Structure 1
């Protein structure tokens, strides 16, 4: 794999994009390409396969859409069926890509459609029958359509795997490989985008689906978020966390705040609690109907609500402007999830704050995330809400953290039992006269 590393982004005009695309870029207010766009677009325009690593909020959606749209405009269709297939892990991200695609293709005749769960099945079948140019899909629903022999995937000229690491983490590896196998066009271009290239599964699947790809690596998991201030506040229990969160939302400066929990129930309960504290809040989780999820996202985007409690469903790929405060009410289960949660803040080099509320049962998990990312987060306290938990105790001389010290009693030696014979019992209390043996002279 050849690694491409370029610096000093040029203008979009220098990327030799077609006039309709430049017109759309100008209307969207894009002034110059981001690093990932500058590095990925030129080789993609040459129809090379790409393996791209870039953090969330870096502009990678336009990095794969612009060269793909240009290819469709330059090359007339030669087969019946969809010409571009974009696979992505979640419905929300798929909808977001569709919106970006429609904006960038506004001054063209290209069409795009969505294949995700929660929407009308027959309407989605018709997307393929109508020869929609670009289909954006989640793996599960697309496989359901494939079982009915609906999609004509052999016509796919460009295959894009977005958030590949997330799809693998969600268990879609075999599904993705099955879909790729049906995209049997020998001249197919494949673009694989991931938040990191240190994910072993990403490298493994890249070897299976990419042909002599050019690698564009802009980050690793250990790269710090210099524009995001990362803090830790210790808490005694969930009730204490709720009070801390309410204080933060009432006193911390922010435009929009995203609060992460590890469970659907916690997200809903926390949303109800914050409503009682006069917060404009909504909740988002995977068990909601698609229409309700769309409604909540619309309220949050428009600013009608400025606080959202959510599960990790909202941690990947969602591009919502104005989020400059992220709070981990529950510590995420691993470092990768942590990165994607805080990545909702500080997008496009804006400043953001990420605060993790940590109780004693979560300390080891939080410490492991710091070690994994090779970073030390700022410790913070809230006056009037300082809890009794101060972090793990240190064992003297060892430098290691410990819990409450348990006093260990010294081990007692077992008492030796003396065997008393029957003849000794008879002589108890009697004076014993020693026998003296005479010595002959």
Structure 2
């Protein structure tokens, strides 16, 4: 029960209003430590309730502030606009019975309007690193009074090249008392380096090992001959699988637009989401998907983080993601909150090694699936030929003494005939044989 946490009564009232009863494992583990003011480094799968795990302790720190709203007190950094917008909604829901105000700073919105919002000084500022730095450099953002920083989806921010931006923003908060870092994967050396720089003696909470991520999702691979064959498989899956909502991931914007065009031509209710779309189109796509106006979203990895849509139960990887962490975040869109999902990856010849490396990273073996109606010729790499007799190579006979027996059977080198001319040392001209000296008389 959430009532077991030492939360302010106004926050508990909001929790009850939102019908939150049992905390998820990540909430049960993180909230008590966060309320103590500890720095946290938390690894938990997407859809596990991470947002509430840091929002509630953060709001609890601010709810009884007696000062007037003259400084920003909390900063939340996220990798994408969509995730930032969803986090803002969560903060507003949990703070509905308090006087805490939150603001949003992301790319794709009017810069001057954001500057005007900053002059009103929200208690909690939520944003993406790039635009926050632009406002900081313009002199519109002041962070010296920030008490708590949250880095959500920190591994993704590193993947997107925000490491230096995040570090600088953290350095602009010299008086912070608490830093919490959340991610869905364990990350690599870059994440460990960031943890060492921005966290102080953190408490490490790993709620899921990599091999346990997305346990509620069936993971399958289907081999394909080429991209046109992949498109046929996609059409078959959309026609024959049972799903409420589906998302198709590609690695390029061009391919996303191509697939989207084919779907629209066949009267599917679909939207496309990638980096070339402006903020208005991105909002429209996600809202239509959430409200049921569209059943299918075609997207690049820009939508892999921060997309929280109920009923999203089918993920198709038209292109394999470029890393194991990206794969985890893609399939994390389905099988959320205990629900089951299906993730299907389409594998051509050039995808096999990448797929195998992701299997090793996750310590899992994906289910191999064949659809007879759209079966191709490619079924995976050919088996390596066996050595020795199986490969048609005859071995030389040897005994226990190795090569001695063979050497013994070799013919001796032919001796020169008695009357044959001898070669000179330099091999240029034959030497004349000397006549034997006459016998002594």
How does the TM-score come out when normalised to structure 1?
Answer: 0.85
Tell me the CA shift for residue 396 of structure 1. Answer: 2.8
Contact 2:149–2:178 (8 Å) recurs in 1: yes
- 2:330 equivalent to 1:347: no
Which residue in the other structure is 1:43 paired with? 33
SS in 1 for 2:385: coil
Conservation of the 8 A alpha-carbon contact between 2:157 and 2:163: yes
Q: 1:393 aligns with which of 382, 392, 395?
A: 382
The structure with the largest alpha-carbon Rg is: 2
The 5 A counterparts of 1:378-389 are 378-389=367-378
On the 8 A contact 2:185/2:325 being kept in 1, the answer is no
Partner secondary structure for residue 345 of structure 1: coil
Kindly indicate whether the alpha-carbon contact (under 8 Å) linking 1:18 and 1:70 is maintained by their aligned counterparts in 2: yes
The equivalent residue for 1:277 is 266
- 2: CA distance, partners of 1:226 / 1:206: 27
Counterparts of 2:77 and 2:101 in 1: how far apart (Å)?
Answer: 17
CA distance in 2, matches of 1:296, 1:132: 29
| Residue 75 (structure 1) shift | 3.2
Shift of 1:78: 7.3
Check if 1:256 corresponds to 2:245. yes
Q: For 1:195, which of 174, 178, 184 is the aligned residue?
A: 184
2:394 match: none
Q: Does 1:116 align with 2:102?
A: no
1:83 corresponds to: 73
| Native 8 Å contact 1:259 1:307 kept in 2 | yes
CA RMSD of aligned residues (A): 1.8
Q: Check whether the contact 1:281–1:309 (CA below 8 A) recurs between aligned residues.
A: yes
Q: Which sections of structure 1, spanning at least 5 residues, go unmatched?
A: 1-10, 399-404, 406-436
Farther off after superposition, 156-165 or 21-30: 21-30
Which residue is 1:19 aligned to? 9
Tell me what 1:168 maps to. 158
Check whether the contact 2:75–2:125 (CA below 8 A) recurs between aligned residues.
Answer: yes
- Give the structure 2 partner of residue 209 of structure 1: 198
Aligned-residue offset at 1:26: 2.3
Deviation at 1:267, TM superposition (A): 0.8
- Asked if 1:55 corresponds to 2:45, the answer is yes
Q: Classify the secondary structure of the residue corresponding to 1:155.
A: coil
1:345-384 pair list within 5 angstroms = 345-384=334-373
Q: CA deviation at 1:160?
A: 0.7
**Equivalences, count:** 391
Deviations 1:282-317 (A, max 9, x none): 000011111111111110111110100000011112
Q: Which residue of 1 aligns with 2:312?
A: 323
Contact 1:156 1:183 in 2 (8 A): yes
Deviates more, 1:121-130 or 1:42-51: 121-130
Q: Matched residues in 2 for 1:393 and 1:170: separation? A: 36
Moved more, 372-381 or 23-32: 23-32
Contact 1:77 1:83 survives alignment (8 Å):
no
Aligned counterpart in structure 2 of residue 64 of structure 1, from 54, 65, 71: 54
**In the TM superposition, what whole-angstrom CA distance separates every residue of 1:203-248 from its partner, at most 9, and x where no partner exists?**
2111111112111111233334321000001111111111111111
Match of 1:413 in 2: none
Instruction: Give the Cα separation in 1 of the matches to 2:317 and 2:224.
Output: 12
Long gaps (5+) in structure 2: 392-434
Q: In the alignment, what sits opposite 1:401? A: none
Shift in CA distance, 245/174, structure 1 to aligned 2, threshold 3 Å: same
SS of the residue aligned with 2:211?
A: coil
- SS of residue matched to 1:313: helix
CA shift, 1:377, in A, is 0.4
Aligned to 1:98: 88
**Are positions 1:332 and 2:321 aligned together?**
yes
Would the aligned equivalents of 2:187 and 2:325 in 1 still touch at CA under 8 Å? no
Aligned to 2:24: 34
Query: How high is the TM-score relative to the length of structure 2?
Result: 0.85
Q: CA–CA distance in 2 between the matches of 1:62 and 1:285? A: 28
Match of 2:211 among 208, 211, 222: 222
